[in-house]
Structure 1
């Protein structure tokens, strides 16, 4: 619920459809979700690079990067995680309206938060990509040594250790990052977008 009053939505002179026609492709958000270390950012950036090589307007919103700026006032409590995802959902919607394919790489552990973002978009604009990877494999990779610190109690409310991760029930795409290469994951995602006439 907005706290602001006396505001009116101003219709844009150039529409989302106009931008898509000019671009020659659709727009959507590829919402990558999964445990830390599952490969979300790696795959999201690989998809972004391939989109760029194919002349498709794209942008990556990465969890850590966003917390350096837009969401630097947020911690990792349940409330702050929910607000983090709400803000990203609104930013992603602006990118989709601009005619861009935006990839987001966030743990986004709560199903209700992801569902609240989904309702912001039209059909086929929100593509939930579940990067599924067993916890023990994520811990084995542990590129940022976060699991080690969480196991020692140095990090509180860490997803998968002392804070829950709620798996998507009906994701558009599931990527088994412990079984697929990054290239295979990118191919799978591209195939989906082509089938939906996004690219």
Structure 2
């Protein structure tokens, strides 16, 4: 249980990246969106390098105890998917979409995890789905308030990514990879093609 709480705390710490960008923008500290994209790209490359060292070189750090679960010992870990998906969001979506999509992963996913029964169902229970939707909508609202349908679309994307397992062959796609991408994609589609 303590390890799970540590993992959730690490998960939530990703909100600090969004806070960094927003504070830097608020106080005009020179962290432009282009520079933030570069920072996220560097963090993603660093994460991939850490995973390469862990999986193929045998690097063992106590940090991995907080970042990985037992079933991830011999495969690319969830924290790697986490950084990759946040970076994809920053690279491919505009800030008002990317930032809440990142927060849905950093904050929404651990909150929905606290109400989950940790069963291996294909679709999570209604309580988890409703929790993820409400938290995601609350996160998206300050960024997308001018387009309420985009708020709903982003929340639906995050909820589907979190609540419905995506299986490709024998492989279950980690929701750390899909939450920001689904949320960002659906919000972008509404912003581009939805009613004005």
TM-score under structure 2 length normalisation: 0.29
Higher RCO (CA < 8 A, seq sep 6+): 1
Point out the structure with the larger strand share. 1
TM-score under structure 1 length normalisation: 0.28
